[in-house]
Structure 1
Amino acid sequence: EIKFSDLYGIDDAINTLKSSVIYPIQCPEDFEMFGISPPKGILIYGPPGVGKTSICCALAYETGFNLITIEGSSIRSKVVGESEKSISKLFAAARENSPFNFIIISDRNLITKRGSSNTSENSGDRIIASFLTEMDGIYSKKSIGYQKTELLIIGATSHPDKIDSAILRPGRLDELVYISPPDINARREILKGKLRNIQHSLSSNEIDIIADKTEYFSGIDKNIKNDAIN
């Protein structure tokens, strides 16, 4: 289990998710009162190792909802039509397990630009078409607050430029959340967080020095903690 409080140095992304996802869930009447529609899908993007998958897991924990991860190995098939059937079955199963699920598409190749498939049967293009069909069917025209929906789609990628543009249109993954590489302040918070439950003798000044010297490290780098301890 991962909570928002377990994540360090990505406060901007966390605050965005709180306002765009958690608040509409907790106070749907405010959104309905003003006719404001929360995002129907979210794309979390940023360099490798900045915490995209972790923040998805934390979001599921904070809301108490189920988390379903779609991996390419569970979808792709050389048999024509099988990939589409797998996607349809996955979404159907997710709906049956409502009231609410997050579906995480963590494999960027599943939603890559159409026409880039190297296979003769163009399975990549058909997979995209299936995802678009399922996404468009999630929300009814009358739905405003999340309490009237079944699913929220979240994409996580290090290469947003390679995702098919139709996936990013309004009504699909229409909320973009960027997680940047940690700056010195974020690295300082990461260090303090990772060292919180570890016995060490580092002073605040020494932690500042380490934060300054780990410019190209991301939050997932074990070396950022190892360097601090050593």
Structure 2
Amino acid sequence: MKRLYAATYVLMACDVIVASALIHLMPDQVPVHFNAASEPDRLGSKYELLAAILLPLCGVFVVMGSKNAPIGKERRWAWGAVAFEVFALGWILFFLTKALFYDGAPLPEPDLDASRWAAVIGGALCVVAGNLMPKANRSPLFGLRTPWSEASPETWRRSQRLGGYAGVATGFAMVALGLALPASLVTPAVLLALLAGFVAGIVGSYVVYRQELAKR
């Protein structure tokens, strides 16, 4: 199991390095949005593509799920974490190399309304998940899972409550950004809101853990 976890983190580091290197090699203006046929349809700053680095980092949550998987399924989850990082590397190579080697051909008008709908629907799902989190029992599939939230039943309970608040706030922010911002700014703004929500939940669970330690 430890080797699978180590392989996951090595692949995660490779994914981040590859994405960073490809973005560094790009010109300032590159395709930053792709339609359903994976064809580029909008130009923008190459730094918008830094959001690609968030995908492999999500593997941390898959590893956490593996460590708390039902007995007998831990190895399957650990292999899932490795597979996730391999998928992330393939995704990065496919889309970022397409942006890197863009030949300057005219792009079609992007379907920017799709970004708004994605923000609104994704925000609504975050609100629903945030309302469910305070009632979540310990499970490898759902909840704010960090080493600190897993420390005790009380840290779990308080972390899920805090994660629920963060999820609801993130969801409302995504809906508001999707409806209020210019269409070209919706996707990067929503990604930043999601990142802020994740960070708030993780940091909050650590604060709860330290508070519980202080009571002992």
Name the TM-score, length of structure 1 as normaliser.
Answer: 0.25
- Relative contact order, CA 8 A, sep 6+: which one is greater? 1
Higher share in helix: 2
Higher share in strand: 1
